[in-house]
Amino acid sequence: MHKLNLQLNIFVFAFACALTIPVLVQQGMFMDGVLYASVAKNMAEGYGSFFEPRFSEVGIAESPIFYEHPPLVFGIQSLFFRLFNSHFLSERIYSFTTLLVTILLFRALWKEVSFHIKGIEKMDWLAIFIWLTIPLVYWGYQNNAQENTMGIFTMCAALFTIKYLFRSKPKLYWPILAGIFTFLASYSKGVPGLFTLGIIPIHFLVFRNHSIKKYLSSFLIIACTLALCYLAIFAYEPAREHLLNYVNLRLLGRITEYPTVHSRFVILERIFWELIYVAALAALILFLLRKRLKEFNWVSSQKRFIIFFFLIGISASAPVALTMVQKGFYILPSFPYYAISIALLVAYGLQSRLQTIKNEKKVSNVFTIINVVTFVTIIGISYSLYGKFNRHETRLKTVEQIKKHIPERSTIGIYHNLWEDWEFQCYMIRYGTYSLNYRKLQDYHLTQDSVPNGYTLIEQLPKYQLYRKNSIEL
């Protein structure tokens, strides 16, 4: 069973690589991922700082300082830009690294659960596999979603909270660590990173095997640790200024000003469709293993673990419905808990079935061959796709053409209609550090139609025309 289990774990890792690497080695990315990478790149190159991150000269929402999110993710990602010298793979390597760390945290969480449910010890790969089959999950890692980093911190907070609640001899520093990681999660993405505070109330609702005093004390330790972390932030003026501006300008202001959906329940529908396929897969496995599952003693505590993790998933995703600003990737940090809940339904029956395989060595060898073929295929496909365009080919080629004529870190004038092309703006910053400015004319001008007086055409680009002011000496 050990050799087969090893090959199953390798298979899941190969599956994760197959879903992400062939896409990550190509140029082009979802706009938000390029935006985050641009801010991190600027920080790494000294344009802006940790508490004053910058996107461009004009900035976003009329502010030169980037207040769209707390700065932690950009600070961490900027280290990868320093390490890889702002290579186009920098943010992609970072995103893949967050995937690997999340997989390790999955294993740690599953280990905690398996202490209390016997017969599922070797099935952590199943939970990871279920999680990876959720379409939005691998999309997030293909596109440098900010939730990838926040999800690491929320899983750490959940892990230490669960250890404290379930271990017979809990350590006092576990809830302190849970509080620190809750702070790091919220300092990555804001309010959504606080959902792990709900784990203790959820445990009380589902298990109720501790005194009210322990529930309250553990919650207070986590909450006080979180509060102390934010007090430390407020004690430092640049950090305080950035946080207050984030809350006032972004969190409170834009949530009501810029709704992205017509109904609060859109996100609940998205959760349903993201989980329907893995739920159907679990139902099929349950049906096929129904005889095995009859042998399983479904005691109350085992059912409660399934409910417990499902409710954690709900606590991480359903609050998005409270606002009219909803995007699918906001719920990415909730999927590990849904995946564990679904995996717990079938883990015992599947492990029991695997233990009775007569030709285990033969099955293991089959998976070894599958794994080798998979890795060779991934390497071959990734090599053939390396540097090619996954999306936005015209915009990316336009940036490369502009770099032939204009020094990097220049400001280029545009008309306001071009300002709304955010994909192009992000690529201009990411690959040329070019700021676009519609407020006043610059030495260089990019346009689709009318030409300012006193400018000469440099080059006809695929979508735009690039002009230079006549007074500039060549």
Judge if 178 and 287 occupy the same domain. Answer: yes
Per-residue pLDDT band for 429 (boundaries 50, 70, 90) equals very high
CA atoms within 13 A of residue 203's CA, in its CB half-sphere: 21
Question: Which one of 314, 343, 375 terminates a domain?
Answer: 375
Do 44 and 105 lie in one domain? The reply is yes
Q: Is 240 helix (H, G, I), strand (E, B) or coil?
A: helix
Tell whether 385 is covered by a domain: no
Closest CA to 305 of 356, 340, 354: 340
**Residues 243-246: contacts with CB within 8 Å, 24+ apart?**
243/70, 245/63, 245/65, 245/67, 246/67, 246/68, 246/69, 246/70, 246/190
Residue 196 has pLDDT above 80, yes or no: yes
126 lies in the same domain as 84: yes
148 φ/ψ angles, rounded to the nearest 5 degrees: -60, -45
Q: What are phi and psi of 450, to 5 degrees?
A: -70, 155
Residues 235 and 318 in one domain: yes
Q: Are residues 350 and 422 in the same domain?
A: no
Q: Which two tokens stand for residue 267?
A: 């996100």
How far is residue 410's CA from residue 422's CA, in Å, rounded to a whole number?
Answer: 18
Assigned domain for 381 exists: no
So what's the pLDDT on residue 346?
Answer: 87
203/219 Cα distance (integer angstroms): 11
pLDDT band at 254 (very low <50, low <70, confident <90, very high): low
| 359 in a structural domain | yes
Domain boundary among 347, 375, 403: 375
Among 343, 375, 407, where does a domain finish?
375
pLDDT in tens, 106-145: 999 999 998 888 878 889 999 999 999 999 999 999 999 9
Are 286 and 259 in a shared domain?
yes
**Residue type for position 316:** A
357 and 403 fall within a common domain: no
Number of domains into which the chain is organized? 2
Q: Based on the domain organization, do 405 and 344 belong to the same domain?
A: no
Quick check: is 63 in a domain? yes
Question: Would residue 113 count as lying in a domain?
Answer: yes
Answer for the pair 346, 126: CB distance below 8 angstroms, yes or no.
yes
Residue 355 included in any domain = yes
Task: Confirm if 144 and 94 have CB atoms less than 8 A apart.
Answer: yes
pLDDT score at 297: 58
Q: Are residues 210 and 92 in the same domain?
A: yes
Same domain for 278 and 195:
yes
For residue 236, give the DSSP letter: S
Q: Is residue 63 pLDDT above 80, yes or no?
A: yes
321 with 416, same domain? no
The residue that leads in pLDDT, 471 or 202, is: 202
Per-residue pLDDT tens for 8-48?
999 999 999 999 999 999 999 999 999 999 999 999 999 99
Classify 372 as helix, strand or coil.
helix
Phi, psi of 343 (to 5 degrees): -60, -35
Host domain of residue 246? 2-375
Task: Identify the bridge partners of residue 468 per DSSP, sorted by sequence position.
Answer: 444, 456
424 and 366 together in one domain: no
Q: Indicate whether 250 belongs to any domain.
A: yes
Query: Could you tell me if residue 383 is inside a domain?
Result: no
Tokens of 434: 């070019």
Q: Centre a 10 Å sphere on the Cβ of residue 259 and count the other Cβ atoms it contains.
A: 14
The bridge status of strand 465-469 relative to strand 455-460 is antiparallel
